[in-house]
Amino acid sequence: MFDGLSDRFRKIIKDIKGHGRLTESNVESALREVRLALLEADVNFTVVKDFVNAVKEKALGKEVLLSVTPGQQFVKLVRDELTHVLGDAAAELTFRGRPTVVMLVGLQGSGKTTTTAKLARLLKSKGRNPFIVPADLARPAAVLQLVKLAQQIKVDCFDVGGRTDARDICSEALRVAKLKGYDTLLVDTAGRLHIDPELMDELKDLKEILSPAEILLVADAMTGQDAVNTAEGFDKAIGLSGVVLTKLDSDARGGAALSMRMTTGKPIKFVGVSEKVDGLEVFHPDRMAGRILGMGDVLTLVEKAQVSMDEKKARELERKIKKDSFTLEDFRDQLQQIKRMGSLDSILSMIPGFSSLKKAKNIKVDEKNIIKIEAIINSMTMKERLNPAILNASRRVRIAKGSGTTVQDVNRLMKQYKQMRQMMKKFKKGGMKSLRNLLPI
């Protein structure tokens, strides 16, 4: 699922090796693989064409440096170009006007309402004084959805009252905001198709009323080829200032990011990474490039791990590893940390080279296994978890019964646990470097 370009490139690297420079013929097959990888990642057909041509132009005639293999150089070139096209650096929100108005627009179900709350929370944490405006009167309970989210994050929300027109809501909210001194207005709008003339006219009116500093298109990372039409449609009608790509916590490769960026030229400013109100991150073009190409993303992995791993627990773990007193209780703890980071497969896919490793050694990453292991450990007494040496045959039978597994499963876990401890001795430094070796696969 995530094998993507990493594996393809291993083959290409072999192909290009031996030539002194990148030529039409040796780069051709590599470009074909890039094209396929991008299409599989849902990058729009036309966009793929343009992108591949741009890469080709840059690649041809390039001297191959002696220090690196031509293959590596080509991989870097593709990734660099993709990063460049995606926007080089993270783009910031523009604050303009009093108050600064941010409008969130997009198709139905893309994540506008959730993102409105996430943005409000983020801005509040940066010392701003945001005001939330629910202007979606179409979807049942959409206003209530946002009112509840606003309460949850303790940000004020405009009281829609009996109003039945988004225009009324926006002009009144703007008046109230000026009066009460809110510095930022976050306006959630109803989901709509870019080909719906009536609803697009409504957006134009809202823009007229609000003179927003930002009009952000909220788009789903799982979107396919149609991303270009949506982005273009909204951009032509009301002029976007940026894009928020949601549901990046999925396993979608997210080619829509490139499609939208290349057709509108508008920067991707944020990404949504969870359903919860804290799941908003700044967009990193370099990471997105790696993801689209399926090349693994060490940075995100490290960051995710840092966020999810409880600081204190991590230090405690390191101490234990050093002291060689890592118990099954610690193991269970670690599994829970890993689970919090998202699916195991998606974590592993962020480790470069893992996809080929998986095949090479025929390792199957089985999430069910984690659940099983947890169940087994849960069925142990604390004494057993802290000192697994006491696990004799009858205790193992009891544990197997209690966890709905078999004695073989319990034995297997004990063997893995033993291996892990041995491995840990080699990784006395602990921390992330040893993560992969701690995984029960």
Partner 1 sequence: MPFSRLKSRLARTHNAIMGGIQAVIGNNTRKDSMESLEEALIRADVGVTTAMEIVDRLKEGFRWDEESLRQRLSDYVYDILKDVEAPLEIPYGTRPFVIMVLGVNGVGKTTTIGKLASRFVTRGKSVLLGAGDTFRSAAIEQLEIWGQRVGCPVVKHSQGGDPGAVAFDAVRSAISRNTDIVLLDTAGRLHTKVNLMEELKKIKRVVSREVPDAPHENLLVVDGSTGQNALNQAKLFNEAVGVTGIVITKLDGTAKGGIIIPIARELKIPIRFIGVGEGVDDLREFHAREFTEALI
Ligand X SMILES: Nc1nc2c(ncn2[C@@H]2O[C@H](COP(=O)(O)OP(=O)(O)OP(=O)(O)O)[C@@H](O)[C@H]2O)c(=O)[nH]1
Ligand Y SMILES: Nc1nc2c(ncn2[C@@H]2O[C@H](COP(=O)(O)OP(=O)(O)O)[C@@H](O)[C@H]2O)c(=O)[nH]1
Q: List residues near ligand X by CB under 6 A.
A: 108-109, 139, 191, 193
Q: Scanning the structure block, which residue is given the tokens 């940390």?
A: 337
Q: Which is nearer to ligand X, 107 or 305 (CB)?
A: 107
**Among ligand Y, ligand X, Mg ion, none, what does residue 242 contact (CB within 5–8 Å per kind)?**
none
- In the bound complex, what is the minimum distance in angstroms from residue 280's beta carbon to ligand Y? 8
**Among ligand Y, Mg ion, partner 1, none, what does residue 279 contact (CB within 5–8 Å per kind)?**
ligand Y
SS3 338: helix
Is 365:348 a contact under the CB 8 Å cutoff?
Answer: yes
| Nearest alpha carbon to residue 412 among 373, 356, 367 | 373
**Among partner 1, Mg ion, ligand Y, none, what does residue 345 contact (CB within 5–8 Å per kind)?**
partner 1
Among the listed ranges 44-52, 242-250, 336-344, 405-413, the one in contact with ligand Y (CB under 6 A) is 242-250
- In the bound complex, what is the minimum distance in angstroms from residue 192's beta carbon to ligand X? 8
User: Per CB under 6 A, does 336 bind ligand Y?
Assistant: no
User: Per CB under 6 A, does 304 bind ligand Y?
Assistant: no
**Among ligand X, Mg ion, partner 1, none, what does residue 250 contact (CB within 5–8 Å per kind)?**
partner 1
Which of 113, 184, 241, 334 touches Mg ion by CB under 5 A?
113
Q: Which is nearer to ligand Y, 63 or 275 (CB)?
A: 275
Q: Which is nearer to Mg ion, 113 or 349 (CB)?
A: 113
User: Per CB under 6 A, does 110 bind ligand Y?
Assistant: yes
**Among Mg ion, ligand Y, partner 1, none, what does residue 148 contact (CB within 5–8 Å per kind)?**
partner 1
- In the bound complex, what is the minimum distance in angstroms from residue 327's beta carbon to Mg ion? 42
Is 94:241 a contact under the CB 8 Å cutoff?
Answer: yes
Contacts of 299 (CB under 8 A, 6+ apart): 284, 286, 287
Which of 183, 249, 318, 330 touches ligand Y by CB under 6 A?
249
**Among partner 1, Mg ion, ligand Y, none, what does residue 207 contact (CB within 5–8 Å per kind)?**
none
- The one-letter amino acid code at 161 reads G
- In the bound complex, what is the minimum distance in angstroms from residue 149's beta carbon to Mg ion? 10
Which of 26, 114, 349, 369 touches ligand Y by CB under 6 A?
114
Burial of residue 395, with CB atoms counted within 10 A of its CB: 0-12 exposed, 13-18 middle, 19 or more buried: middle
| Calpha distance 56→43 (Å, rounded) | 18
User: Per CB under 6 A, does 159 bind ligand Y?
Assistant: no
- In the bound complex, what is the minimum distance in angstroms from residue 229's beta carbon to ligand X? 14
Is 124:142 a contact under the CB 8 Å cutoff?
Answer: no
**Among ligand Y, ligand X, Mg ion, none, what does residue 275 contact (CB within 5–8 Å per kind)?**
ligand Y
Structure tokens at 332: 């269970």
SS3 43: coil
End-to-end CA gap in the chain: 18
| Calpha distance 253→251 (Å, rounded) | 6
Angle at which helices 285-293 and 70-86 cross, to 10°: 120
Q: Which is nearer to ligand Y, 274 or 343 (CB)?
A: 274
Burial of residue 69, with CB atoms counted within 10 A of its CB: 0-12 exposed, 13-18 middle, 19 or more buried: middle
| Nearest alpha carbon to residue 28 among 211, 224, 19 | 19
Q: Which is nearer to ligand Y, 31 or 252 (CB)?
A: 252
Cis peptide before 440 (omega within 30 of 0): no
- The one-letter amino acid code at 319 reads R
H or E segment and range at residue 23: none
Total site size for ligand Y, rule CB under 6 A: 18
| Calpha distance 96→350 (Å, rounded) | 38
User: Per CB under 6 A, does 108 bind ligand Y?
Assistant: yes
Q: Which is nearer to ligand Y, 247 or 396 (CB)?
A: 247
Structure tokens at 76: 């870097």
Interface residues with ligand Y (CB under 6 A) are 106, 108-114, 191, 218, 246-247, 249, 272-275, 279
Residues that bind Mg ion (CB under 5 A): 112-113, 136, 142
